[in-house]
């Protein structure tokens, strides 16, 4: 589909099965390269500043390793709620606390995506507003015990049971909440040269 990318190799630096599936669903040919990154950011950063920083940190770990025809793609997602970043929960207790804090509230899901070549780096981000109806402690406990959302920012997957029973409103990109703003990624790649 994207003829302009025929001379390039796309490299997705993400272990997320959801992001990998999106690339497959977009009919993009890609390979996966992973690096362990300590995802620590300066405490003064807020909202998309955090995801931009972390996405670029992941990309810059590949400095000096990219061939001329390679496009590296990294990303990071957080939930931004009550002026605080909610990343992946440390454990089930942390996951319960996150979901309780978002019950009956609206939060932002922010994803940044970085495109890096041997010559340049560019980062874009997407913000989606998600509103939860009130969720009972019993529903939260059921969700966490059955779906184990410990690998997800904010302790939930919109595409899972909790999304079916508790999300009353979404403003913006659905795929962003799953983990990648696919429309923005595809349109950026369409103009890449």
CATH number at residue 166: 3.90.950.10
Mean pLDDT of the chain: 95
Residues recognised as catalytic: 76
Q: Distance between CA 43 and CA 163 in Å, rounded? A: 30
% of the chain with per-residue pLDDT over 90:
92
Length of the chain (residues): 193
Task: Report, as an integer, the average pLDDT of 65-80.
Answer: 96
Q: Is the confidence at residue 172, as pLDDT, over 70?
A: yes
Cα–chain-centroid distance for residue 13?
Answer: 12
Query: Residue 182: which domain range?
Result: 3-190
Residue-wise pLDDT tens digits, 28-59: 999 999 999 999 999 999 999 999 999 999 99
Is the pTM for the entire model greater than 0.85? yes
Number of domains in the chain: 1
Q: Is the confidence at residue 160, as pLDDT, over 90?
A: yes
Please return the burial class of 184, using the count of CB atoms within 10 Å of its CB with bins 0-12, 13-18 and 19+: middle
**pLDDT of res. 154:** 95
């Amino acid at each position: 589909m994207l003829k302009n990318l025929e001379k390039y190799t796309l490299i997705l630096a993400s272990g997320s099965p959801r992001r990998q599936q999106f690339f497959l669903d977009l009919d993009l040919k890609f390979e996966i390269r992973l690096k362990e990154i300590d995802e620590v950011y300066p405490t003064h950063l807020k909202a998309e500043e955090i995801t931009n920083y972390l996405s670029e940190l992941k990309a810059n770990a590949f400095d000096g390793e990219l061939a001329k025809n390679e496009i590296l793609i990294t990303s990071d997602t957080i939930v931004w709620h009550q002026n605080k970043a909610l990343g992946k929960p440390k454990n089930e207790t942390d996951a319960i606390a996150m979901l309780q804090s978002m019950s009956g509230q609206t939060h932002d899901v922010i994803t940044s995506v970085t495109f890096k070549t041997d010559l340049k780096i560019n980062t874009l981000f997407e913000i989606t507003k998600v509103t939860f109806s009130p969720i009972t402690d019993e529903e939260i406990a059921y969700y966490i015990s059955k779906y184990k959302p410990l690998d997800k920012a904010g302790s939930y997957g919109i595409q899972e049971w909790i999304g079916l029973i508790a999300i009353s409103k979404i403003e913006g990109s659905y795929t962003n909440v799953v983990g990648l703003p696919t429309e923005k990624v595809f349109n950026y790649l369409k103009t890449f040269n």
